[in-house]
A and B are shown apart, each in its own frame.
Chain A
Amino acid sequence: MDINVESVTFWICALIVLGGAFGVIWSRNPVHSALSLVATLFGVAVLFLNLNAQLLAAVQVIVYTGAIVVLILFVLMLLGVDRDEDVEVEPLVGQRTFAAVAAMAIFVILFGVFVIGGTRIVTGTPNCVSGDVVVTGSPYEPGCDPVNPQLATVTDSPNINQVGRVIFTDFAFAFEITAGLLTIAVVGAVVLARRPKDLEPLPEPAPLSYENVNDIEETA
Protein backbone atom coordinates (compact mmCIF):
# COMPACT_ATOMS: atom_id res chain seq x y z
CA MET A 1 0.00 0.00 0.00
CA ASP A 2 1.66 3.18 -1.18
CA ILE A 3 1.74 6.09 1.19
CA ASN A 4 1.98 9.19 -0.97
CA VAL A 5 0.56 12.66 -0.82
CA GLU A 6 -2.43 11.84 -2.97
CA SER A 7 -3.57 8.81 -1.03
CA VAL A 8 -3.15 10.52 2.35
CA THR A 9 -5.10 13.53 1.10
CA PHE A 10 -7.77 11.23 -0.27
CA TRP A 11 -8.29 9.37 3.00
CA ILE A 12 -8.42 12.56 5.09
CA CYS A 13 -10.89 14.18 2.70
CA ALA A 14 -12.97 11.01 2.49
CA LEU A 15 -13.35 11.09 6.28
CA ILE A 16 -14.36 14.77 6.18
CA VAL A 17 -16.84 14.19 3.33
CA LEU A 18 -18.52 11.21 4.95
CA GLY A 19 -18.53 12.83 8.40
CA GLY A 20 -20.20 15.90 6.94
CA ALA A 21 -22.75 13.76 5.10
CA PHE A 22 -23.63 11.91 8.31
CA GLY A 23 -23.94 15.28 10.03
CA VAL A 24 -26.40 16.51 7.40
CA ILE A 25 -28.58 13.46 7.87
CA TRP A 26 -28.48 13.01 11.62
CA SER A 27 -28.41 16.59 12.95
CA ARG A 28 -31.73 17.44 14.55
CA ASN A 29 -31.13 21.14 14.10
CA PRO A 30 -31.24 22.19 10.41
CA VAL A 31 -28.55 24.83 11.04
CA HIS A 32 -26.15 22.08 12.12
CA SER A 33 -27.07 20.19 8.95
CA ALA A 34 -26.17 23.22 6.84
CA LEU A 35 -22.80 23.60 8.58
CA SER A 36 -22.07 19.90 8.08
CA LEU A 37 -22.91 20.38 4.42
CA VAL A 38 -20.16 23.04 4.28
CA ALA A 39 -17.65 20.46 5.56
CA THR A 40 -18.72 17.98 2.89
CA LEU A 41 -18.49 20.55 0.10
CA PHE A 42 -15.01 21.63 1.22
CA GLY A 43 -13.90 18.03 1.27
CA VAL A 44 -15.16 17.52 -2.27
CA ALA A 45 -13.35 20.71 -3.33
CA VAL A 46 -10.05 19.35 -2.03
CA LEU A 47 -10.72 16.06 -3.81
CA PHE A 48 -11.20 18.06 -7.03
CA LEU A 49 -7.75 19.59 -6.46
CA ASN A 50 -6.45 16.08 -5.93
CA LEU A 51 -7.86 15.13 -9.35
CA ASN A 52 -6.14 18.09 -11.04
CA ALA A 53 -9.37 20.07 -11.48
CA GLN A 54 -8.25 23.37 -9.96
CA LEU A 55 -10.94 25.54 -11.55
CA LEU A 56 -13.71 23.25 -10.32
CA ALA A 57 -12.28 23.33 -6.79
CA ALA A 58 -12.45 27.13 -6.77
CA VAL A 59 -15.94 27.15 -8.28
CA GLN A 60 -17.09 24.55 -5.76
CA VAL A 61 -16.03 26.75 -2.85
CA ILE A 62 -17.39 29.96 -4.35
CA VAL A 63 -20.71 28.71 -5.73
CA TYR A 64 -21.67 25.92 -3.35
CA THR A 65 -20.21 27.05 -0.05
CA GLY A 66 -20.39 30.74 -0.78
CA ALA A 67 -23.76 31.02 -2.48
CA ILE A 68 -25.96 27.96 -2.14
CA VAL A 69 -25.33 27.14 1.52
CA VAL A 70 -25.58 30.80 2.47
CA LEU A 71 -28.89 30.97 0.58
CA ILE A 72 -30.18 27.91 2.45
CA LEU A 73 -29.04 29.35 5.80
CA PHE A 74 -30.65 32.69 4.93
CA VAL A 75 -34.02 31.05 4.25
CA LEU A 76 -33.60 28.96 7.40
CA MET A 77 -33.20 32.09 9.51
CA LEU A 78 -35.85 34.04 7.58
CA LEU A 79 -38.53 31.42 8.16
CA GLY A 80 -37.44 30.69 11.72
CA VAL A 81 -37.58 26.95 11.12
CA ASP A 82 -34.27 26.41 12.91
CA ARG A 83 -36.03 24.36 15.59
CA ASP A 84 -35.13 20.82 16.39
CA GLU A 85 -37.10 18.32 14.39
CA ASP A 86 -39.02 15.76 16.40
CA VAL A 87 -37.36 12.61 15.10
CA GLU A 88 -39.44 10.34 17.32
CA VAL A 89 -42.64 10.92 15.38
CA GLU A 90 -42.96 8.75 12.32
CA PRO A 91 -46.19 9.65 10.53
CA LEU A 92 -45.52 7.32 7.66
CA VAL A 93 -45.20 3.84 9.14
CA GLY A 94 -42.06 2.05 8.00
CA GLN A 95 -40.60 5.12 6.28
CA ARG A 96 -37.21 4.89 8.02
CA THR A 97 -36.89 1.17 7.44
CA PHE A 98 -37.74 1.61 3.81
CA ALA A 99 -35.25 4.49 3.52
CA ALA A 100 -32.45 2.45 5.09
CA VAL A 101 -33.15 -0.58 2.90
CA ALA A 102 -33.38 1.47 -0.29
CA ALA A 103 -30.19 3.42 0.48
CA MET A 104 -28.31 0.22 1.26
CA ALA A 105 -29.54 -1.27 -2.00
CA ILE A 106 -28.30 1.77 -3.93
CA PHE A 107 -24.92 1.59 -2.25
CA VAL A 108 -24.49 -2.15 -2.70
CA ILE A 109 -25.36 -1.97 -6.39
CA LEU A 110 -22.98 0.94 -7.05
CA PHE A 111 -20.23 -0.62 -4.92
CA GLY A 112 -20.55 -3.91 -6.75
CA VAL A 113 -20.38 -2.23 -10.13
CA PHE A 114 -17.34 -0.14 -9.19
CA VAL A 115 -15.36 -2.88 -7.48
CA ILE A 116 -16.17 -5.77 -9.80
CA GLY A 117 -15.95 -3.64 -12.92
CA GLY A 118 -12.67 -1.93 -12.02
CA THR A 119 -11.45 0.24 -14.87
CA ARG A 120 -13.73 -1.55 -17.34
CA ILE A 121 -16.77 0.41 -16.17
CA VAL A 122 -15.46 3.50 -17.97
CA THR A 123 -17.10 3.26 -21.35
CA GLY A 124 -15.98 5.35 -24.28
CA THR A 125 -12.62 5.77 -25.93
CA PRO A 126 -9.84 6.97 -23.64
CA ASN A 127 -7.98 10.01 -24.95
CA CYS A 128 -4.76 8.01 -25.01
CA VAL A 129 -2.57 6.84 -27.86
CA SER A 130 -2.30 3.45 -26.18
CA GLY A 131 -6.10 3.21 -25.80
CA ASP A 132 -5.82 2.31 -22.10
CA VAL A 133 -7.53 3.99 -19.17
CA VAL A 134 -5.32 6.31 -17.10
CA VAL A 135 -4.54 4.78 -13.72
CA THR A 136 -1.88 7.16 -12.46
CA GLY A 137 -2.23 8.22 -8.87
CA SER A 138 -0.44 11.52 -9.09
CA PRO A 139 -2.49 14.55 -10.20
CA TYR A 140 0.54 16.00 -12.00
CA GLU A 141 1.53 13.03 -14.14
CA PRO A 142 -0.11 12.97 -17.57
CA GLY A 143 -0.60 9.22 -17.32
CA CYS A 144 -0.57 8.65 -21.09
CA ASP A 145 0.14 10.35 -24.40
CA PRO A 146 -3.08 12.10 -25.43
CA VAL A 147 -4.63 11.65 -28.86
CA ASN A 148 -6.15 15.13 -28.67
CA PRO A 149 -3.86 17.35 -26.56
CA GLN A 150 -6.57 20.00 -26.16
CA LEU A 151 -8.70 17.56 -24.18
CA ALA A 152 -5.94 16.15 -21.97
CA THR A 153 -6.44 16.70 -18.24
CA VAL A 154 -2.75 17.24 -17.46
CA THR A 155 -0.88 19.57 -19.83
CA ASP A 156 1.35 22.60 -19.65
CA SER A 157 -1.57 24.99 -20.24
CA PRO A 158 -3.63 25.91 -17.17
CA ASN A 159 -6.77 24.01 -16.30
CA ILE A 160 -8.98 27.09 -16.71
CA ASN A 161 -7.75 27.64 -20.29
CA GLN A 162 -8.67 24.12 -21.27
CA VAL A 163 -12.09 24.13 -19.62
CA GLY A 164 -12.88 27.53 -21.13
CA ARG A 165 -11.88 26.43 -24.60
CA VAL A 166 -14.12 23.36 -24.47
CA ILE A 167 -17.09 25.26 -23.00
CA PHE A 168 -17.02 27.98 -25.65
CA THR A 169 -16.42 25.67 -28.61
CA ASP A 170 -17.92 22.20 -28.22
CA PHE A 171 -20.50 23.15 -25.60
CA ALA A 172 -21.35 26.69 -26.71
CA PHE A 173 -25.00 25.85 -27.42
CA ALA A 174 -25.45 24.05 -24.09
CA PHE A 175 -23.86 27.02 -22.38
CA GLU A 176 -26.43 29.37 -23.94
CA ILE A 177 -29.25 27.04 -22.89
CA THR A 178 -28.06 27.14 -19.26
CA ALA A 179 -28.38 30.93 -19.38
CA GLY A 180 -32.04 30.46 -20.36
CA LEU A 181 -32.48 27.92 -17.54
CA LEU A 182 -31.12 30.34 -14.95
CA THR A 183 -33.39 33.12 -16.22
CA ILE A 184 -36.44 30.85 -16.00
CA ALA A 185 -35.44 29.80 -12.48
CA VAL A 186 -35.10 33.41 -11.32
CA VAL A 187 -38.47 34.39 -12.80
CA GLY A 188 -40.06 31.31 -11.22
CA ALA A 189 -38.59 32.15 -7.83
CA VAL A 190 -39.92 35.70 -8.03
CA VAL A 191 -43.39 34.43 -8.93
CA LEU A 192 -43.35 31.82 -6.16
CA ALA A 193 -42.10 34.15 -3.45
CA ARG A 194 -44.60 36.90 -4.17
CA ARG A 195 -46.89 37.68 -1.27
CA PRO A 196 -50.38 36.17 -1.59
CA LYS A 197 -52.11 39.52 -1.07
CA ASP A 198 -50.64 40.69 -4.36
CA LEU A 199 -52.53 37.91 -6.07
CA GLU A 200 -55.91 39.32 -5.02
CA PRO A 201 -57.69 41.37 -7.68
CA LEU A 202 -57.34 45.07 -7.22
CA PRO A 203 -60.47 46.89 -5.90
CA GLU A 204 -62.75 48.58 -8.37
CA PRO A 205 -61.68 52.16 -9.04
CA ALA A 206 -64.12 54.84 -7.99
CA PRO A 207 -66.32 56.02 -10.88
CA LEU A 208 -65.36 59.35 -12.27
CA SER A 209 -67.86 62.10 -11.56
CA TYR A 210 -68.49 65.01 -13.87
CA GLU A 211 -66.49 67.41 -11.64
CA ASN A 212 -63.53 65.07 -11.57
CA VAL A 213 -63.48 64.83 -15.35
CA ASN A 214 -63.34 68.61 -15.52
CA ASP A 215 -60.47 68.64 -13.03
CA ILE A 216 -58.53 66.16 -15.09
CA GLU A 217 -59.08 68.07 -18.28
CA GLU A 218 -58.02 71.31 -16.66
CA THR A 219 -54.85 69.91 -15.29
CA ALA A 220 -54.04 68.18 -18.58
Chain B
Amino acid sequence: MSANSLSTGYLVLSAMLFALGAFGLMRRRNTLVMLMCIELMLNAVNLTFVTFGRMLNDITGQVIVFFVLVVAAAEVVVGLGLIVAIARRRPGATADDIRVLRG
Protein backbone atom coordinates (compact mmCIF):
# COMPACT_ATOMS: atom_id res chain seq x y z
CA MET B 1 0.00 0.00 0.00
CA SER B 2 1.53 3.28 -0.99
CA ALA B 3 1.95 6.09 1.49
CA ASN B 4 -0.52 8.21 -0.39
CA SER B 5 -3.33 5.74 0.10
CA LEU B 6 -2.40 5.46 3.76
CA SER B 7 -3.14 9.18 4.14
CA THR B 8 -6.47 8.50 2.47
CA GLY B 9 -6.88 5.61 4.89
CA TYR B 10 -6.65 7.97 7.86
CA LEU B 11 -9.26 10.25 6.30
CA VAL B 12 -11.63 7.38 5.51
CA LEU B 13 -11.22 6.03 9.05
CA SER B 14 -12.13 9.43 10.49
CA ALA B 15 -15.13 9.62 8.14
CA MET B 16 -16.34 6.24 9.45
CA LEU B 17 -15.77 7.36 13.04
CA PHE B 18 -17.71 10.58 12.42
CA ALA B 19 -20.61 8.73 10.79
CA LEU B 20 -20.75 6.20 13.63
CA GLY B 21 -20.81 9.03 16.17
CA ALA B 22 -23.60 10.79 14.30
CA PHE B 23 -25.57 7.54 14.06
CA GLY B 24 -25.23 6.93 17.79
CA LEU B 25 -26.20 10.51 18.58
CA MET B 26 -29.41 10.16 16.60
CA ARG B 27 -30.22 6.61 17.68
CA ARG B 28 -29.60 6.52 21.42
CA ARG B 29 -31.85 8.16 23.99
CA ASN B 30 -29.55 7.92 27.01
CA THR B 31 -28.12 11.41 27.39
CA LEU B 32 -24.73 10.18 28.66
CA VAL B 33 -24.29 7.87 25.69
CA MET B 34 -25.20 10.80 23.43
CA LEU B 35 -22.38 12.80 25.03
CA MET B 36 -19.99 9.92 24.34
CA CYS B 37 -21.07 9.90 20.69
CA ILE B 38 -20.28 13.62 20.47
CA GLU B 39 -16.81 12.76 21.79
CA LEU B 40 -16.46 10.22 19.00
CA MET B 41 -17.29 12.85 16.39
CA LEU B 42 -14.83 15.32 17.91
CA ASN B 43 -12.10 12.66 17.83
CA ALA B 44 -12.81 11.98 14.18
CA VAL B 45 -12.33 15.68 13.45
CA ASN B 46 -9.10 15.73 15.47
CA LEU B 47 -7.73 12.83 13.46
CA THR B 48 -8.57 14.67 10.25
CA PHE B 49 -6.81 17.81 11.45
CA VAL B 50 -3.62 15.93 12.32
CA THR B 51 -3.66 14.06 9.00
CA PHE B 52 -4.08 17.27 7.05
CA GLY B 53 -1.29 18.85 9.08
CA ARG B 54 0.96 15.95 8.12
CA MET B 55 0.01 16.23 4.46
CA LEU B 56 0.69 19.98 4.44
CA ASN B 57 3.85 19.60 6.57
CA ASP B 58 2.34 22.21 8.90
CA ILE B 59 2.28 21.93 12.71
CA THR B 60 -0.80 24.21 12.90
CA GLY B 61 -3.02 21.19 12.35
CA GLN B 62 -1.85 19.84 15.70
CA VAL B 63 -2.31 23.20 17.43
CA ILE B 64 -5.95 23.39 16.34
CA VAL B 65 -6.54 20.02 18.02
CA PHE B 66 -5.66 21.62 21.36
CA PHE B 67 -8.47 24.12 20.97
CA VAL B 68 -10.86 21.33 20.02
CA LEU B 69 -9.79 19.54 23.20
CA VAL B 70 -10.62 22.61 25.28
CA VAL B 71 -14.03 22.93 23.65
CA ALA B 72 -14.67 19.22 24.25
CA ALA B 73 -13.79 19.57 27.92
CA ALA B 74 -16.08 22.60 28.33
CA GLU B 75 -18.88 20.81 26.49
CA VAL B 76 -18.61 17.73 28.70
CA VAL B 77 -18.62 19.84 31.87
CA VAL B 78 -21.75 21.78 30.89
CA GLY B 79 -23.45 18.67 29.48
CA LEU B 80 -22.88 16.67 32.64
CA GLY B 81 -24.13 19.60 34.71
CA LEU B 82 -27.34 19.62 32.67
CA ILE B 83 -27.72 15.85 33.02
CA VAL B 84 -27.26 16.04 36.79
CA ALA B 85 -29.83 18.86 37.01
CA ILE B 86 -32.39 16.89 34.97
CA ALA B 87 -31.75 13.58 36.73
CA ARG B 88 -32.29 15.20 40.12
CA ARG B 89 -35.79 16.23 39.08
CA ARG B 90 -36.57 13.00 37.21
CA PRO B 91 -34.33 9.97 37.85
CA GLY B 92 -33.56 7.77 34.90
CA ALA B 93 -34.25 10.57 32.46
CA THR B 94 -33.73 10.04 28.75
CA ALA B 95 -33.42 12.69 26.08
CA ASP B 96 -37.23 12.67 25.76
CA ASP B 97 -37.55 13.95 29.31
CA ILE B 98 -35.56 17.10 28.60
CA ARG B 99 -38.92 18.70 27.80
CA VAL B 100 -39.36 19.15 31.57
CA LEU B 101 -36.99 22.10 31.15
CA ARG B 102 -39.79 23.94 29.36
CA GLY B 103 -41.03 26.88 31.42
Task: Determine whether the beta carbon of B13 is less than 8 Å from that of A14.
Answer: yes
Interface residues of B in 40-98 (CB under 8 A from A): 40, 43, 46-47, 50-60, 62-63, 65-67, 69-78, 80-85, 87-89, 91-92, 94, 96
- Tell me how far the C-beta of B64 lies from the nearest C-beta in chain A, rounded to whole angstroms: 9
Question: Would you give the 0/1 interface string for B3-40, flagging 1 where the beta carbon is closer than 8 Å to chain A?
Answer: 11011111111011111111110111110110111011
CB within 8 A of B6: which of A18, A34, A137? A137
Task: Determine whether the beta carbon of A126 is less than 8 Å from that of B35.
Answer: no
Interface size range of chain B in the complex: 35 or more
Chain B positions within 8 Å of A98 at CB level: 26
Task: Determine whether the beta carbon of A185 is less than 8 Å from that of B26.
Answer: no
> 5 closest A-B pairs (Cβ-Cβ)?
A137-B3, A103-B23, A192-B81, A99-B26, A107-B19
Q: List 21 A–B pairs whose Cβ atoms lie within 8 Å, in order of A's numbering.
A: A1-B1, A14-B9, A14-B13, A25-B27, A47-B10, A47-B47, A56-B66, A79-B84, A99-B27, A107-B15, A111-B12, A122-B56, A127-B58, A135-B55, A163-B63, A171-B63, A178-B67, A181-B71, A189-B77, A192-B84, A193-B81
Excluding A44-B47, A103-B23, A190-B81, 4 further A-B contacts by CB distance (< 8 Å) are: A63-B73, A124-B56, A133-B56, A185-B74
A residues adjacent to B (C-beta < 8 A): 1-2, 6-7, 10, 14, 17-18, 21-22, 24-25, 30, 33-34, 37, 40-41, 44, 47-48, 51-53, 55-56, 59-60, 63-64, 67-68, 71-72, 75-76, 78-81, 83, 85, 91, 95-96, 98-100, 102-104, 106-107, 110-111, 114-115, 118-119, 121-122, 124-128, 133-138, 142-144, 146, 150-154, 159, 162-163, 166-167, 170-171, 174, 178, 181-182, 184-186, 188-193, 195-196
